[in-house]
Amino acid sequence: MKVVIGQGSCGIATGAKKTSNAFEQLVAEKGLTDVVIDKTGCIGTCYLEPIVDVYNDEGDLETRYVRVQPDKVAEIVEKHLIGKTPVEELAISDEDKNFLDQQQRVVLRNCGNINPEKIDEYIAVGGYEGLKKVVTSMTQDEVIQVIKDAGLRGRGGAGFPTWFKWNAAKQSPGTEKYMVCNADEGDPGAFMDRSVLEGDPHSLIEGMAIGGYAMGAIEGIVYVRAEYPLAIERLEIAMEQARERGFLGKNLFGTDFSFDMRIKAGAGAFVCGEETALIASLEGERGMPRLKPPFPAQKGYWQKPTNINNVETFANVPWIMTNGGEAFAAMGSEKSNGTKVFALAGKIKKGGLVEVPMGMTIREVIFGIGGGIKNDKKFKAVQLGGPSGGCVPEYLADTPVTYEDIATTGAIVGSGGMIVMDETTCMVDMARFFLDFTKKESCGKCNYCRIGTKRMLEILERITKGEGRDGDIELLEELAAKIKDGAMCGLGQTAPNPVLTTLKYFRNEYEDHIYNKKCTAGACKALIHYEITDKCVGCTKCARNCPVGAITGAVKQQHVIDTEKCIKCGKCEENCNFGAIVRK
């Protein structure tokens, strides 16, 4: 019997290591020598962590337990490991099983199912068979043709055809070429690449080696942010194991193809997600974009032909080479093939990672898989594509998630962040949040981005403080157009998108802020106040919890809030058991 504890970053953050330690201690105390305690990465159901899977002696999953804190371990050990009777009340529900059952997994095929630190488990599920097939029986052009047949597009945001980039690098003259993985996942709310690195690092290694063969690269470099220590640790372990087995290094599978890899830990600058800024950082320079052309496929790392794809793109490659390009192309839509991983976050009941065929609608992802809006509030909008993307309103929720369809809304698929918002979200403040992010992350190289985003942010901050002026909306639109046209790289060119899409779909909220001095969602502190209604029974709980003593009143009598003292923290509303305090 084997007990497997999910120990991705999400699991560890909720106490998975303590849970694992509790299992190890109890299993040792009970003398259960036939029970193995193991680990795996994140399976995607982050809202259920810590997750514990119990496998029988035949290797079949018997029971998946969820939210297993250390105090629940003894019951599982006594009843299931010793008594052979699963603890049903701690097991995953049928409703939560639905979260995974509706997905179609290619990139996440092994995440949560294998130990990422044991190469034998990756090999047991077909790992490195694609690489073996490629280097022993296929030409470079044949490999590129399979990727072309698959219709694989870059999963880092732009959706550029992968085969085209590989072929351009292959055709560039020179024998010194580089395959680079962009693992600098910087979008707020996005954690797709991190989970693959933590849960299935060998799929990245194999995908990069296949790509290296196709373009003639001598080395692979993984540029991963230093804030991902667990991902770096597991990738290092996987690379060392791959070298020991002959999957990296000299003369792979007895051929004349040699390919090795190394890791570069980035400093966490969002702009380094742009490929030329990433290359500058790799070379030891400040991460700042360069003008194109020449493109990296012509002159990239150290002016040598270089290809850059992100983690998710590479993780698709071994599956494609094993199953064929046509099998991948059969999933998804006509122009957006395959599957896409999304990080569901925000006001969603079931937050985590989902992988679905391209073409599934936004509504199906949020309500069919994600379970709908937290606390059953009204769905308002979803932010797609992070700071470079935009907000899609509820009435467009039946839009298919494809590169083409999402682009018509003003947003982008991006790397896969999907932040869900409800009726309590202020769209002006949401735009302010993303502008604040991009302003801080601007490298400062070009005026339009450095100064333009600052000016836009200043206007948004004034509006959310109730100091908006007539003409602010038009000025935001004018600045946005100039920044998009004048900025040098993708960060600046897309920075206005959150503002433009919220103006397009939620213009009334901007107007309310400016002309009526009112926040429609009741979220902007400067534009709200609290009142105690006649539902108040005088229990004094609100007064006792007010941090500034702004509430007064006698016991069993209606209380009053002094608006001059009130700091609008919302403690009174949170603590009222009678719904007597309203936000206006």
**What is the pLDDT at residue 315?**
97
| Token pair belonging to 86 | 């699963």
Give the chain's domain count. Answer: 5
For every residue of 160-176, DSSP letters joined together read -BHHHHHHHHHHSS-S-
The percent of residues above 90 in pLDDT, for the chain, comes to: 89
Same domain? For 61 and 38 the reply is yes
Same domain? For 182 and 305 the reply is yes
Q: Which residue reads 């937050």 in tokens?
A: 351
Same domain? For 416 and 431 the reply is no
pTM of the model: 0.93
Taking residues 9-20, report their average pLDDT: 96
Tens-digit pLDDT profile for residues 150-177: 999 999 877 899 999 999 999 999 999 9
Same domain? For 295 and 171 the reply is yes
Tens-digit pLDDT profile for residues 68-106: 999 999 999 999 999 999 999 999 999 999 999 999 999
Which of these, 44, 61, 149, lies nearest to 102 by C-alpha position? 44
For every residue of 143-210, DSSP letters joined together read HHHHHHHHT-B-TTTT--BHHHHHHHHHHSS-S--EEEEEE---STT--HHHHHHHH-HHHHHHHHHH
What gap in Å lies between CA 499 and CA 429, rounded to an integer?
Answer: 10
Q: Which amino acid is at 153?
A: R
Which of these, 81, 52, 78, 54, lies nearest to 67 by C-alpha position? 52
Kindly indicate the confidence band of residue 186, based on its pLDDT and cuts at 50, 70 and 90: confident
The whole domain housing 22 covers 2-101
What gap in Å lies between CA 514 and CA 454, rounded to an integer?
Answer: 19
**What is the pLDDT at residue 417?**
87
For 477-507, give one letter per residue: b (16+ CB within 10 A) or e. eebbeebbeebbbbbbbbbbbbbbbbbebbe
Same domain? For 297 and 153 the reply is yes
- Name the CA dihedral angle for 90, 91, 94, 100, rounded to a multiple of 10 degrees: 120
CA atoms within 13 A of residue 128's CA, in its CB half-sphere:
20
CATH number at residue 556: 3.30.70.20
Residue 357 lies in a domain: yes
CATH number at residue 511: 1.20.1440.230
Tens-digit pLDDT profile for residues 480-507: 999 999 999 988 999 999 999 999 999 9
CA atoms within 13 A of residue 51's CA, in its CB half-sphere:
28
CATH number at residue 354: 3.10.20.600
